[in-house]
A = this chain, B = another copy of it.
Amino acid sequence: MVPHLITALTGPINELEQRVLESMPAIERWFRLEWMEHTPPFYSSVDLRNAGFKLAPVDTNLFPGGFNNLTPEMLPLAVQAAMAAIEKICPEAKNLLLVPEAKNRGSFYLSNLATLVRIFSMAGLNVRLGSLDESIKEPTTVALPDGSALTLEPLVRQRSRLMLKDFDPCTILLNDDLSSGIPDLLTHLHEQYLLPPLHAGWAQRRKSQHFRAYEEVSKKFAKLLGMDPWLIYPHSVAVDGLDFNTGAGLDALQAQVDATLTRTRRKYKEYGINEKPFVVVKPDAGTHGLGVMTIRDAKDLEALAIKAREKLAKLQGVPALSQVLVQEGVATHERIHEAVAEPVVYMMDRYVVGGFYRVHADRAEDENLNAPGSSFVPLAFAHSSHLPAPGEKPGASAPNRFYMYGVIGRLAMLAASYELETTDPDAEDYA
């Protein structure tokens, strides 16, 4: 079950959604059984794209920001989920050390931190913020737009423990995705719970690994519902050995782009979809300062290579980009006030705790919306007045369109769980 939220989707209910809604008890039980075998990530957010005929995750964030975009009604859900998570990991926990992104002092990000502090305080923890920013040498107060303030404190490493002055936490919650590598301060913390684990950061994580796991999950789920996994899986393949400067590997990239376009075209034909397939190319780890590029035609690739060369030349201290993910593009057919929108689903422990729309007025439906200029529209809870006959007779009540988003979000979260098991450097210890 997920919060009953109103979505921007107003079209008729399609076959996939119908099947998901009808199978709710079976789906929830299936998740329950999966979570008996696998540990959910501590928290996550998943960007979805709903093309009408197809709904798929395109990005699974294991260090989610943006908690400030959840509505106040959603916070109790997040707190309840946080309580369940803490109870399992460390029920005696008293202190939580929250480690934010080192350099981000944007007011949205600070509001995200304030919301996380609030959630974990309400779940019964003393929460303080320890900064990876080396310029923080003493407790530093930063103001928030709403008039409140947060205090960033310098991290103190004492042998195998990470702490603040007079604050020894049993659990450390990381909100930095480690795109710029793993700081020494965070390594070898064997006495404390470090959540999420270091190998969930972009220093080690690969999108191709995630989507490989998601392919497995989507096949299992599709079998449960008796449907084609393609309806929820965007075909994804990694291309390695790239060098945009020398042009090495571009032939292989071209071949994968062509193969993915052909594959997608075939599927569109099978389903009678009258749209033009496209692919997206993105760095396999993090954003790499390069973001997501849309390729509508094989010839676009040349322009992409030039653009990538230019962008990468400008970047300082970023390791060379040698591996990308080629992914079947999924257009988003949702609109809010005519701007292109994509739903983002937030989860904590195994629970969906809320969601919102990422909206970008200047982007097309086949482009990445997670870019400067995007804004956020909170999803409201659906009221019973919109639900003439709640739940009892199939078809008698307005469907909870957000339910399906919560299901696909959780499939991506489950894939992250599979992924982290596969990539766990300490995995052999438990084998």
Contact = CB atoms under 8 A, between A and B. Distances in A.
Contact of A117 (B72, B122, B391): B391
A24 B148 CA distance: 19
Nearest to A396: B148
A330 B203 CA distance: 60
B148 A83 contact: no
A118 interface: yes
Contacts of A117: 391-392
A348 to B, nearest CB: 10
A381 B73 contact: yes
Q: Which of A144, A391, A396 has the most CB of B within 10 A?
A: A391
Contacts of A325: none
Interface residues on A, range: 35 or more
A73 B5 CA distance: 9
Stoichiometry (number of copies): 2
Contacts of A93: 29
Interface in A102-127: 114, 117-118, 121-126
Contact of A32 (B26, B86, B146): B86
Contacts of A32: 83, 86-87, 91-92, 124
Contacts of A196: none
Interface in A34-93: 35-36, 71-73, 75-77, 79-81, 83-84, 86-87, 91-93
Nearest to A118: B391
Given A91-B32, A94-B29, A384 B72 contact: yes
13 contacts: A1-B79, A3-B76, A4-B76, A25-B121, A29-B124, A32-B124, A33-B91, A72-B382, A77-B80, A83-B351, A118-B391, A118-B392, A121-B391
- Give the 7 A-B CB pairs with smallest separation, nearest first: A28-B124, A1-B122, A1-B79, A148-B392, A118-B391, A29-B124, A3-B76
